[in-house]
Structure 1
Amino acid sequence: MYDVIVVGGSFAGMSAAMQLARARQNVLVIDAGTPRNRFADEAHGFLGQDGRAPAAIMRDVRCQLLRYPTVEVMSGEAVGTRALGAGFAVELSGGGEHRARRLILATGVSDQLPAIPGMYERWGETVLHCPYCHGYEVRDLPLGVVAAHPMSAHQAMLIPDWGPTTYFTQGLFEPDTAEIDAFAARGITIERTPVVELAGDAPALDGVRLADGRFVRVAAVFTAPRTDPATPLATMLGCVHEDGPTGPYVKVDQWGATSVAGVWAAGDTATPMHNATLASAAGVLAGIGAHQASVRAKAG
């Protein structure tokens, strides 16, 4: 039986595993190999790694982690989990299971983009969600915000610092009076006719087609996809969830502990604020939290 199983091998999961490795815990990382950032060619804003491919960063991390003799990293998909008397069992898609005294869920989220033709084939390239992650790469170009939830107006307020901005309400998310005044001060154009298609040779974007046939030239659009847990593991264990602006996330304390004793969660699955640096920091806290719980258990 392992001390800890970490499910998820991206920024949060590997950061948690690193802390546990350095605490000489026996750790298994189960990595399905489908991180949320797999659609992006480069990671940005992550200290010391700006401009590198996320996959390259994770290859380096895996090599560094495996220098510690108490760590194993397994490629595979965790499809089930259950509590045992002395811990937890994690079931794999290919059959078999592994057991640990504690679990860290760093399983991330899946993105459900607005149902507009041309969105998915541009995701991570010219259809973006985080201006801090990708805004600099489309600076000084005509940009759009395709509204997808009530906080889309807040997102639109940010974008003019990277380029001239059009806010597409989609006929659903009209800015209020104060927001209209703020848009005017920021030079944001409001377009109320819905976007029905993204045009151009994907992943490049020439512009968007509106429901009335007009064409608006933009080089990239920002939107806020609906987010859902990438796996049902936290639900299987009975972890409490909270509702965020784009979807549910696992409720955790300041150390990443969930409502279920012995289970921690970190990264995008456990916060409404999605960012690689924040995910890594949350993984550090969860790893330390899981180790300190072990210390307390041994101390009686």
Structure 2
Amino acid sequence: MQYDVAIIGGSYAGLSAALPLARARRSVVVIDHGQRRNRFASHSHGFLTQDGTLASEIAEIAREQISRYSTVQFETGQVLDVAKSNDLFHVCIDKIHAITAKRIIIATGVTDQLPEIQGLRERWGQSIFHCPYCHGYELNQGQIAVINSSEFSTHQAMMLPDWGQVTFLSNGKNLTDEERKQLASKNIPIIDDEIAEISEHATINLQSSASQQFDGIFVSSATRILQDWIKALGVEIESNGVGEWIKTDAMKQTSMDGVFASGDVIRFGGSVPLSVADGNLAGVSAHRSLIF
């Protein structure tokens, strides 16, 4: 089947992109395999009118509202390949069938690659976080740990004193004199021992057998684009030491004509409100490209 626009990813950015296209009465398919990046967090914070709402509920309500538009279809599945031929994009879904579209919006999000510390993965999104604006307020200015996991960790630690009493855990990694000076300027103590495991709510147990309880822990995850078809498609991808993302212009157009992108897959750092804004603009831009 042929559509005006295929949106790959049905979370906040993808659903937001679908709305202006649906209201323009364009034929749209939203392809999603049900793996929201923030599925590990129970509640979403920082989104105007939805602060504190269940993260899953925001996506469910959005999908229900968009489903009311007759020109929007949903496909459940995983995109395995996208190829362009004769100004049309051919999208292969689960090796079962393919659809074609005049335009593509990539809204796949990214995957968080977490440090290999015992007990960390099980607490991700519950007592271990990456975004203070999303989860810092609920820690009630309590005891906060920052684990040294990337070149961004020192920066992250220096932000967090607005949300609580911060301790920096180097996890056995060497810090530069400048990094130690920066942390000292914010009165942030440093624990240099390696971490053995994380237990209970947010207790950090060290290799030295010492342990310390915290109200929350922050980690800078590495964000990666794991879909091979995105890189094979040929859109330009940017990266730094802690992430990679698709390069777009101000209107969410990628380096390839007819391909737009939105949400966490186009930025270092992300949130629900930013994804919704990105998606809306990508949808409008894709629509305009069909006209002009």
Short-chain TM bin: over 0.9
What stretches of structure 1 of length at least 5 have no aligned partner? none
TM norm structure 2? 0.95
- 1:288 is matched with which residue? 284
User: In structure 2, how many angstroms separate the alpha carbons of the residues matched to 1:255 and 1:234?
Assistant: 19
- The one-letter code matched in structure 2 to 1:220 is G
Separation (CA, whole Å) in 2 of partners of 1:264 and 1:165: 40
Alignment of 1:63-212 (within 5 A): 63-93=64-94, 95-172=96-173, 174=175, 176-177=177-178, 179-200=179-200, 204-205=201-202, 207-212=203-208
Which sits farther off after the overlay, 281-290 or 118-127?
A: 281-290
Report the 3-state secondary structure (helix = DSSP H, G, I; strand = E; otherwise coil) of the residue aligned with 2:287.
Answer: helix
Task: Read off the aligned partner of 1:187 and give its amino acid letter.
Answer: N
Structure 2 residue matching 1:256: 3-state secondary structure: coil
- Which amino acid is 2:278 matched to? A
Counterpart CA distance in 1 for 2:291 and 2:123 is 47
Q: CA RMSD in A?
A: 1.5
3-state DSSP class of the match of 2:223?
strand
Q: Is the 8 A contact 1:150 1:173 kept in 2?
A: no
Three-state SS of the structure 2 residue aligned to 1:38 is: coil
Any gaps of 5 or more consecutive residues in structure 2? none
Number of aligned positions between the proteins: 291
The amino acid of 1:197's aligned partner reads E
User: Of 231, 252, 255, which aligns to 2:251?
Assistant: 255
TM normalised by structure 1 equals: 0.93
Measured in 2, the distance between the counterparts of 1:208 and 1:83 equals 50
For residues 154 and 145 of structure 1, the distance between their equivalents in structure 2, rounded to whole angstroms, comes to 10
Is the 2:252–2:261 Cα contact (8 Å) retained in structure 1? Answer: yes
Q: Which of the numbers 229, 234, 240 marks the counterpart of 1:244?
A: 240
User: Percent of pairs identical after alignment?
Assistant: 38
Q: Which amino acid aligns with 1:257?
A: Q
Give the letter aligned to residue 169 of structure 1: S
Q: Is the 8 A contact 2:78 2:93 kept in 1?
A: yes
CA distance in 2, matches of 1:143, 1:48: 28
